[in-house]
Amino acid sequence: MTTSASPETVWKLLVDAASWPLWSKVDSLDTTRSVGLNPGGDGVGVVRAFRTGRVVSGERLTEKVERRLLAYEDAFNSSIHNYHARIELKPTASSGTVIHWYGKYETSWLLRWIMPRYLQKFMQGMVEGLARYAEECMPAE
């Protein structure tokens, strides 16, 4: 997905877990189950817990390259395990950003039929929300 927002704008939203409920499909940041949150931007090792409906899932940041890459793995999740995701940002020639968000996971044989379609739709909504909100946060010219 491509947004007209700069990599800096997109990056600030990604590393600030408190902003995720503003632009994503998660309902809230669960600060009681998160570990090591930093309002200035979360770093490698931080566990961020997000509530979506009644489900709380946690992600541990595993890699961070300023304005280019944020990677995470599941810290706790009741439906999936061995989850690894990467969010890659690439600047465009017009000062925008290409956002590539993808991951791999395992799940039970029962959920194997439901989870791929659900997660694809969920993650598409995440990246679209990020792109749209980042554009709204752009400074006026």
Q: How far apart are CA 42 and CA 46, in angstroms?
A: 6
CATH number of 2-136: 3.30.530.20
- pLDDT single digits (tens) 82-123: 999 999 999 999 999 999 999 999 888 888 888 888 888 989
How many Cα atoms within 13 Å fall on the side-chain side of residue 13?
25
What are phi and psi for residue 41, nearest 5 degrees?
Answer: 130, 125
Domain parsing of the chain, residue ranges: 2-136
pLDDT(39) > 90: no
Average pLDDT across the chain, whole number = 93
